[in-house]
Structure 1
C-alpha cells in the first residue's frame, strides 16, 4: 500500500461529512448478497435488477460517488486491483462522466469498511460490472449537481456546463462542486435508463493514461502487501504438514520458544506457527519448529502418469451444457480427439502474504484477496466472530491473480494475530509453501467429436468434459486451508459448478461457430484428490485450446485454409472482424503461401471469451528445434474487440500479458506429484517461461466501439494463444500434440 493510498483511506474513514453509515440495501437484499457473493464471476442476487452493472447489487449513488462540501470527490469500487490497471480505468470512467480530470478524484478500492460488496474480482468482470456502475452513478451525480447549481444560479440546467470541478453558467458565473453539492442528497437509489455523456465528448475514456499503480512498482517503492510495514509489527511463519491429510504426532515447542526474538509459538491441533520480532528470526524459528515436528502420513495421492484416467473414473455430476439438433446434410467424415491439461500453479512471484491485527474484539486483515467481503465472512466463521467485527482491506499482492494462496495466508494472519493481540502480525509464505499448498488450476480432459458434410461444413459436434470444480472460493471457513489442521478441523463446503453462461470447467465449451447439431456434456467431478480452484480463464483455457485445435484438424480434412474455414462457420460480424483484422496484420495469406524453412510454421485461433465478453483472434509464427523439442515464438499478431475501450494501453497490456502467460502454460508448466505429495516445490521443479523464450514480437490491434458495453478483456487471450501455438507447431512439424504442455519430449525427434 502506498502512503498516498493509505492516507486517502484514512481521510475518507475519518471525515464525518463523507462517511455516513454504509447500509446501502434493505436488510433482506443485504442477506441475499451475503449468501451468494461467493460466485466466481460476482454475479449474485440483484436488489435492483433493472440497473446496469454492479448497481444491481449496490444501487445507492453514494456507494460509488461521494462529494463533500469542500469539493473533495471520492469514487468507490468493490473490485481489487490485481495488476490489471482497473484503478486507472475506473478513475478515467468516473472523471469523464463527472466532467473532471482523473487527478481530481480519489479512488477507494475493495475495503469492507468503505466500499460496495462486489463479490470477487474475477472472470474479467471488473470494468464490465464495476466500471459500468461507476459510469452510471457518476453520470447521475453530475445531473444532480447541474440541477442543484441551476436552482442556486436561477438558470436552466441545460445551459450549464462542467469544467475543472465546477459548474459554469453561460454568463461566467461558477459554482464549485462543493457548493453545488450542498443540500443535495446523494444517498438515493440510481435510476435506470438515464443518459450518460455522449462518447464523442469523452476526454479520458478511449485515450492512453499512465497507470497510477505503476510508479512504485518500477522504482522499487512500497506497492504490495509484502511491502506493508505497520508500527510495532511482528513477523510470523507457519509450518505446514508434509502433505495433504498429514497430522502432527509430536513437536518440540520449548526449544523454539527459547530462541532469540521468538515472541510466541502457536499450536492448535496440527496447526503450527511461530511469531518473532524480526523476519529472519521468524524464518529460523520456523525451520527449527519444522525440524522438531513429527507427522503421521495422510492418504496417498494418485499416480501422476495415470491422473487423467483416475480423474475420469471418479464420481461425477453429469451436466447437459448444450443439446440441440437440426436438419443437416449427411456426414461424410468424422474426427474424434482427446485433449488434456495438467494441474497448474498460479506461481505468484511474491509468495502470499497478509498482515493481521487483533485489537480488542476487532480484527483487521490487510490482504491481496480477490474478494474482501467473502473473505471477511470466512474469517468471521473461522474465529466465531461477528462479521461486523472483521475488516478486510485489499492491498495488491506481487503476482497475485486467481484463487492463489491469498485467502489462506489471510487465515494464517487472523489465527496468529488472535494469539498475540494488540500487535500487527505479518505472515508470508515460503516459496515451497506457495507451490505445494495453494489451490491449483484443475487438471481436465476434453473429448471432441466432429463431422463434416461433402461441402466441408460442420454438421455435428459433440463435446465431453471431465473437470473438478474451478471454484473452491471462500463459501465457509472450511475452504480456508489452515482450518484443516486445527484441533477441531473445519470441512470445506461441497463443490458446486458455476452455472453457464459463465461456467467453470465447461466455460467456453460451446463453440460459437454455426453447427446444426451440437451436444456438450460435462462430467463435474465431485472428489478432489488434489486441491483445485480458480485459475485465470478457468476451463476456457483447455476448452478453447481443444476447440480451436480441432477446428484446424477439421479444416485440414475439408482441405480449406484454417482462417477461411472459420469464417465459413461464423455469422457474428464482430467475430469476423477480429479474425480478418488479425489475419491482415499477420499477413496470413502470404505466410501460408510462401515456402517456409523446415520446422517453421504458422497457426491461427479465435474465441469470444465465455461467449459473452471480448472477441480475440491470434495468429502466430513459430520455429521448432527437433533435437530438444524447444519452441521459439517468432511473432504474434492479435486483434481484440472489447467494446468501448477505456484505456487502450491497459487493454493492450492485458492481452499481451495473457498471451505470454498462456505460452508459459502451454509450453512448460505442469504440477508434478508422487503418492507422498507435491514434488514441484520450487522454480527448478516447476519451470515457467523465461525472458529468453518471449515472442520476438507481439502486435495487438484493438477495435474500439464507443458507446457499446465494456467487455472484459483480462482473460480473453489465454485460450486463443494456446491454440494458435499448437496449430503453428503442428504446421511446423506435422505432429499434433493434444496433451499439455507441448514443449520438450512430445516434440523431440
Structure 2
C-alpha cells in the first residue's frame, strides 16, 4: 500500500511523466461505495506550553561541545523566573544550572508563549521546559544504550555526559547528532521523583541580581549601540488633545539636534546626546499648540459614572436561588484607577536596517504580540520585525513598555540606519501608561439561623482589564499618527482565569449565589492589565464582607472562613497563617487591630492566606502595618526564596495600593503626574516584619505565585483597620482623610 501511495502522488506523477499530465477525480463515481472519511484525531495534549511548541529543539539545544541552551518565551520581569526555569532544566538534564545558557523572549529565537502574565510562567513554560528536558535526557540515554549495547536502565546521566557502570562515557555533544532533538514531545515524561532532586526545591541565588547590584548593563535602559541617537516624545497634554500647530525651528537650532519628527499628533525630537534631546523636547513642547476638550469622567462621582457606562452584563457564576431571608449584609465597595508606578520610566531602542528589517529592544511582556502590533503600525510584514526582550523596571502588567517600543520603531522608520533610543519622562509615565481600571462592587449576603452564608449576590462594574497588543491600536504612537489606527473594541469575556471578574466567585461553600460582571465597553481613561487584574478589588470586597458576616454570626473570622471551606489545601494555608501569626481572641491594645485575608488566585493557582497587625492614629488618619504573616501553597517548590520574594513584594505593593494610590484627574487632564501627586509606600512605612511560610507539595503541579498576595493583603489591611477602629472602610485607597472621616476626626 505504501508503494502504491507513492506512485500516485502528484509530485511522483509529474516527475515520471515528463510531459502533459491530465488529472481527474473519480470520487463522485464511487461515492456510494466508499466508507465515510474518518476525521483526523486531535493532537494529544502536551504539558504546559509544549502544547503550542511541540518539538523538543524549540526548547533545548545541545551543541557538539556539549553546551546546553534552553529557550523560553517568557520574560524576566524581576520575578526571578530565569533562575527557576534554569533549575527545572538543570534538574531533568542532570546539568549544573551555571552550565546552562537561558535565552528569554525573542521573536527570532524562542517559542511563542504570548505574554508573561497571569502568574503562569512556571505553570506553562516551567512545565514545558521540565518535560522537554526529561525527554531529552531519555533520548540521550537511549542513544548511549544503543552505542554501548546496554539497556538504558544500566546507564545514568551526570554532568553533561552519560555513564555506564563499566566506566564507558559519552558526552551529550557526542551523543546528539543531526536533527536528533527535532522530534515531537510525548504526552508523558519520565520526570525525576521529588526524593531525588538536587536543584529543584533548593534556594538558588537569582542569576539576574549580580549585574543589577554591581552596575553592569542589566536593563534596556543600559543598552548602547554604535552611533545611537537619543529621542524624546512630546506627548499631548491630555488624552483628547489635537496638535494644531508647532514651530520646530527653535528646537531644531539647539546643539546636537538631528531631527524633529511629526506624524499627525505624534511629535518627537532626535539628538546626539540624551540631555540634548531633553532640552529640545522642552523647547518643542513650548512651541506646540494643542486643542483640548473635556472627555474625562467626573472623578468626584466615579461610582455613578461606572454604572452609567455599563453596556452589558455577563454571568460569572450562578448556583441555587437567591434569598433575602435571615440576617442581611449589604455594601458597596470601590477601587480607583491606579498606575503601575514603575520607578524607572519606560525605554526602548529600535533600528531600521539597510535590508528593510527592524530590530526592537523592549521590556515588553509579550515580544510576539508587540511584534505584530508594530508591524501593523508600520505596514511591514511581521517577519521583518524582530523584537528582543531586555529587562526594564519591573511593573507586573501592561505599562508603557510596548508604547516606548512603538515610539522607537516609528522614529527609527523615519531615520533608517540609525539606532534610536527612546526614554520616557516621569510625567509621561504617570500620565500615559495604561491604568489599572476603576471598579465598583456591590454585595448582598444573607446568614441562616446556623450562622452560615445562605445567599450571596455580587455585582461588579468595570472595563476590560487587558488591552495589551492587541493590534496597533493598543499603541500610543499608532493612535497619534496622521493615519491613526484605532483600538479594537473591548469585549466582555468571561473565562476560568477571569479578567475584571477574576476571583469574583468566592471559593467558599455557598449554596445560593449569583455573580454578575456589568461590563463597560467605553473606557474613559486608557486601561489595561495591572498585577492581579480584577482579583485585587474582588478579593478585597469579598473578604471584607466575610469579616462582617463573621461579626454578624458572632464568630471568629478565621473559624468562620474554615466553616465555609472544604478545599483541604485552602484550609491548610488558612490554618498555617493563623497559627504562625498567633491568631487568638485576646483584646488588642487601643487603636490596634488584626485582620485576615484569603484567596486562591484565579481559583486555580496558588493558595494564599495572610494575617496582619496594624496601628491606626485617629488624630492623623495614619495607618501603619506592624507585621504580616502569610502562608502560601504554590504546588511543587522550585526556588523557595523566589516564592518568598514574590509574596513579600506582593504584600508590600498591595499595602501601597490600599493605603495610598489613586490616579487623579479633572475633566480634561490627568493631574497625578509625579510621586507627590501620586504617593506610594515609602521605606519608613514598610512593616516591621513580613513572614512567608511555604506549604510543601512535592510532586504537585506548579501553581502561579506572583499575583496571589494582592487581594488577600488588601483585605487583611481593611479588616485590621475595622478591628482597630470599629469602622468599615469601603472605598480604596484608605487615605488619611478617609480614616479621619470614618473615626469622626475630620
Q: TM-score range by the shorter chain?
A: over 0.9
Query: Which residues in structure 2 correspond to 1:71-90 (within 5 Å)?
Result: 71-90=66-85
Instruction: Identify which range, 315-324 or 52-61, moves more after superposition.
Output: 315-324
Is 1:210 equivalent to 2:205 in the alignment? yes
- 1:398 CA displacement: 1.3
Query: Which residues in structure 2 correspond to 1:49-198 (within 5 Å)?
Result: 50-183=45-178, 185-198=180-193
Counterpart of 1:298 in structure 2 is 293
Counterpart of 1:599 in structure 2 is 591
User: Aligned partners of 1:504, 1:214: CA distance in 2, in Å?
Assistant: 32
User: Aligned partners of 1:298, 1:676: CA distance in 2, in Å?
Assistant: 6
Of residues 352, 357, 365, the one that matches 2:351 is 357
Counterpart of 1:449 in structure 2 is 444
Q: 3-state DSSP class of the match of 2:188?
A: coil
TM-score (norm 1): 0.92
- 1:333 CA displacement: 0.4
Is 1:631 equivalent to 2:626 in the alignment? no
Counterpart of 1:652 in structure 2 is 644
User: Aligned partners of 2:315, 2:476: CA distance in 1, in Å?
Assistant: 32
Counterpart of 1:4 in structure 2 is none
Query: Which residues in structure 2 correspond to 1:265-414 (within 5 Å)?
Result: 265-325=260-320, 331-360=325-354, 361-414=356-409
1:170-208 Cα deviation digits (max 9, x unpaired): 111111110111356111110102321112111111000
1:68-111 Cα deviation digits (max 9, x unpaired): 11111100000000000000000000000111111111000000
RMSD: 1.3
Counterpart of 1:723 in structure 2 is 715
Q: How many residues are paired up?
A: 700
Instruction: Identify which range, 615-624 or 224-233, moves more after superposition.
Output: 224-233
Where structure 2 has 5 or more consecutive residues not aligned to the other structure, the ranges are: 1-40
Of residues 243, 256, 262, the one that matches 2:257 is 262
User: Aligned partners of 2:235, 2:735: CA distance in 1, in Å?
Assistant: 33
User: Aligned partners of 2:553, 2:310: CA distance in 1, in Å?
Assistant: 38
Counterpart of 2:608 in structure 1 is 616
- 1:424 CA displacement: 0.7
User: Aligned partners of 2:380, 2:627: CA distance in 1, in Å?
Assistant: 54
- 1:253 CA displacement: 1.3
Counterpart of 1:14 in structure 2 is none
Contact 1:471–1:496, Cα closer than 8 Å, also in 2 = no
- 1:122 CA displacement: 0.2
- 1:47 CA displacement: 8.6
Counterpart of 1:5 in structure 2 is none
Counterpart of 2:5 in structure 1 is none
- 1:153 CA displacement: 1.4
User: Aligned partners of 2:422, 2:192: CA distance in 1, in Å?
Assistant: 46
Of residues 680, 683, 686, the one that matches 1:688 is 680
Counterpart of 1:741 in structure 2 is 733
- 1:315 CA displacement: 3.5
Q: 3-state DSSP class of the match of 2:350?
A: strand
Of residues 523, 530, 539, the one that matches 2:534 is 539
Q: 3-state DSSP class of the match of 2:550?
A: helix
Contact 2:156–2:163, Cα closer than 8 Å, also in 1 = yes
Instruction: Give the 3 Å change call, closer, same or farther, for CA 413–183 of structure 1 in structure 2.
Output: closer
Contact 1:651–1:713, Cα closer than 8 Å, also in 2 = yes
Q: 3-state DSSP class of the match of 1:396?
A: coil
Of residues 229, 235, 243, the one that matches 1:240 is 235
Counterpart of 2:696 in structure 1 is 704
Is 1:483 equivalent to 2:475 in the alignment? no
- 1:378 CA displacement: 0.2
Counterpart of 1:575 in structure 2 is 570
Contact 2:497–2:602, Cα closer than 8 Å, also in 1 = yes
- 1:498 CA displacement: 4.2
Contact 1:613–1:713, Cα closer than 8 Å, also in 2 = yes
User: Aligned partners of 1:500, 1:623: CA distance in 2, in Å?
Assistant: 39
Q: 3-state DSSP class of the match of 1:677?
A: coil
User: Aligned partners of 1:68, 1:260: CA distance in 2, in Å?
Assistant: 50
The list of structure 1 runs, each at least 4 consecutive aligned residues, that deviate by more than 6 angstroms after superposition, is none
1:689-714 Cα deviation digits (max 9, x unpaired): 00000001011000121110000000
Contact 1:342–1:670, Cα closer than 8 Å, also in 2 = yes
Contact 2:261–2:269, Cα closer than 8 Å, also in 1 = yes
- 1:216 CA displacement: 1.4
Of residues 467, 472, 475, the one that matches 1:472 is 467
User: Aligned partners of 1:473, 1:248: CA distance in 2, in Å?
Assistant: 26
1:349-385 Cα deviation digits (max 9, x unpaired): 1000000000021000000000000000000000000
Q: 3-state DSSP class of the match of 1:338?
A: strand
Contact 1:365–1:414, Cα closer than 8 Å, also in 2 = yes
User: Aligned partners of 2:238, 2:42: CA distance in 1, in Å?
Assistant: 44
Contact 2:56–2:136, Cα closer than 8 Å, also in 1 = yes
TM-score (norm 2): 0.93
User: Aligned partners of 2:405, 2:698: CA distance in 1, in Å?
Assistant: 40
User: Aligned partners of 1:295, 1:229: CA distance in 2, in Å?
Assistant: 34
Instruction: Give the 3 Å change call, closer, same or farther, for CA 48–93 of structure 1 in structure 2.
Output: farther
Counterpart of 1:661 in structure 2 is 653
User: Aligned partners of 2:458, 2:485: CA distance in 1, in Å?
Assistant: 37
Instruction: Identify which range, 507-516 or 294-303, moves more after superposition.
Output: 294-303
Is 1:231 equivalent to 2:226 in the alignment? yes
Counterpart of 1:640 in structure 2 is 632
User: Aligned partners of 1:229, 1:194: CA distance in 2, in Å?
Assistant: 43
Q: 3-state DSSP class of the match of 1:427?
A: strand
User: Aligned partners of 1:499, 1:103: CA distance in 2, in Å?
Assistant: 42
Instruction: Give the 3 Å change call, closer, same or farther, for CA 49–627 of structure 1 in structure 2.
Output: farther
Q: 3-state DSSP class of the match of 1:388?
A: helix
User: Aligned partners of 1:553, 1:598: CA distance in 2, in Å?
Assistant: 20
